[in-house]
Every structure is written in C-alpha cells, then in structure tokens.
Chain A
Amino acid sequence: MKESRLMLVQYATAVAAVALVTVHLIMQGVIYPYTTAISYNNILSVYSNGWYAIFLEVLLVVVLVHGFNGVRIILNEFRQTKPWTTWVNAGTILAIIVTVAYGTRTVILAVFGGAPA
C-alpha cells in the first residue's frame, strides 16, 4: 500500500479511536461507578450483549492498527533503507495480526466460552 494511503489509514483510525475510546471510558467511569464496571458479573453481562462485544472488537482493531502503524512511521523515519523498511513493515503486520488475534480470542471466549470450572 502506498505511504500516502497508509497515512490516511492512520488519520481515519485516529478519528475512530477518539470516538471509540471516549465511549469506552464513559462506560468504565461515568455510566457505572468504576468498581461496578470492572466487577466480574458486570463484565459478563457486558460481553453477553453482542453489540458491546462487537464494539470492543472494533475498538481492539482500530487502536492496534493505529498504534502499530504509528510505531512503523516512527521507525521508518529513523532509517530509509530498503531492507529496514521491508522488515519494519513486515514486523508491523505481524504485530497487528498477533495482538488482534490474542484480543479477539479474549472476546470470543468471553462471549462463547464454557462455564467457569
């Protein structure tokens, strides 16, 4: 993907992240008191709401793409050689895939996982 297109991805995910993180923080400290928001039963009920689970998944993808793409931009400014750029870009894609997969696993297990032992 062209660098100009990747910068647009960075700006689009930034705007999306501002909105999504704001909603996330409101859910954690305004709608519910913080201690209630992080209680096991409340989180279980949150995950049982499919829309909020989808919201968390979108938040996960947006924030991680924005974060790792930002680090990629910083690293590519340090050095402009072809091998460096190739490794940084490949590492960014790998980091996004691994972390999104791990976060998605949490969401899926929270929604569909078995009862506690």
Chain B
Amino acid sequence: MAAGEEKAKNKRGIRGWLDPYHYNAERWAYFFQRVTGVAILLYVLGHLGDTSFFVGGPTGTGPNPSAWAFIGSIFENSFGHLILILVVLVLFFHGVNGVRLILAEFGLILRKPSAIEYPYKPKGLGSGQKVLIYVAIAIAVAAAVWAFLVLFEGMG
C-alpha cells in the first residue's frame, strides 16, 4: 500500500464514524457516545437561549412573565415535548455509557490481556462492558418512557 493510501485510510474523519464495517457493540457505543454528546450540547445551547426568556431574552433586564409566556407558546406543545423525550433518551444513554467509559479508562472493567490470534477478529472488551452497554440502553428507554408519562400523561 502506498504511503498516500495508508495515510488516507487512517484519516477518514466523520466518514470513519459512519462506516459500520467491522463494528462491534463497543464501537457502536463509542459512535453513539459522540453523536449523543454533540446532540446534547446543541440542546443545552438552545436551552440556554429559551431559559433566558425568563428574564426577557437577550435584551431583558429581569423576570418577565410575558416573555416567558411567549417562549412557552413556541416550545410547550406536542412537538416540543417529543424533542424533550428524545433529549432524555440520548441524555441517559450518554450518561450511563459515559460512566462505563470512565470505568474502562481507569482499568476497572477491562478483561485480561490475551495473545492476538488468527483470524484477528476484533475482540469485545469483556462481558461486563457489554452488560453496561445494554444497561445504558435499557435505562435510556425507561427514562424516555418516564419522560413521555410526565409530558403527555401529566405524571410527576
């Protein structure tokens, strides 16, 4: 392989994230950790903007009920609540999967090293990590259901 091809192969950028070839559960979890992280940051920036309307928005000077009612009229509807449910879903996945990544980073849930053997298929990082990925998915779904009940059924 020429040096240029080797360099291009190792520098795939975002396309590298999106290429599912040779993906395993941990790789997918890594992919979704980044995608959900960026999505949550975008939501937080939007949330900073909408909560600022409590004090009248960018040019406000203090608590302002009419500005708050205005922003509520835009976001407090079924579509806005659907977005909030999606935010809760990705937030809980990101949080629990992030705890898994921290535990792995400090070597607490890594399996014992073993010799690399033919046919060199990617090895999982251990059953503990797989369980935590599934736990992250389960908690995220449960949290999204809870958010649905709070937002659409008036529970809370």
Q: Report which A residues bind B (CB closer than 8 A).
A: 7, 11, 14-15, 17-18, 21, 25, 29-30, 32-35, 37-38, 40, 43-44, 47, 60, 63-64, 67-68, 70-71, 74, 78, 99, 102-103, 105-106, 109-110, 112-117
Give Cα A14 to B98, complex, Å. Answer: 7
Q: How far is the CA of A68 from the CA of B38 in the complex (A)?
A: 9
- How many A-B residue pairs have C-beta atoms within 8 angstroms? Tell me: 103
A70 and B140 alpha carbons, distance in the complex (Å): 21
Task: Spot the interface stretch: B21-29, B41-49, B115-123, B126-134.
Answer: B41-49
**Within residues 87 to 125 of chain B, which ones have a CB less than 8 A from any CB in chain A?**
88, 91, 95, 98-99, 102, 105
| Chain B binding surface SS class | helix
B62 at the interface (CB under 8 A from A): yes
Q: Please state if A35 and B154 are interface contacts (CB–CB under 8 Å).
A: yes
CA–CA, A102 to B53, complex, Å? 12
Assuming A17-B95, A29-B146, A106-B54, is B65 touching A67 (CB within 8 A)? no
Closest partner residue, chain B, to A78 (CB atom):
B13
Partner of A64, one of B44, B64, B69: B44
Q: Which residue of chain B has its CB nearest to the CB of A8?
A: B105
Could you show 18 A-B contacts with beta carbons less than 8 Å apart? A11-B102, A15-B102, A25-B88, A30-B156, A33-B155, A34-B154, A35-B154, A38-B76, A40-B63, A67-B37, A67-B44, A70-B38, A103-B48, A106-B52, A109-B60, A113-B55, A114-B61, A114-B62
Q: Contacts A29-B146, A109-B61, A110-B63 hold; do A99 and B105 have CB atoms under 8 A apart? A: no
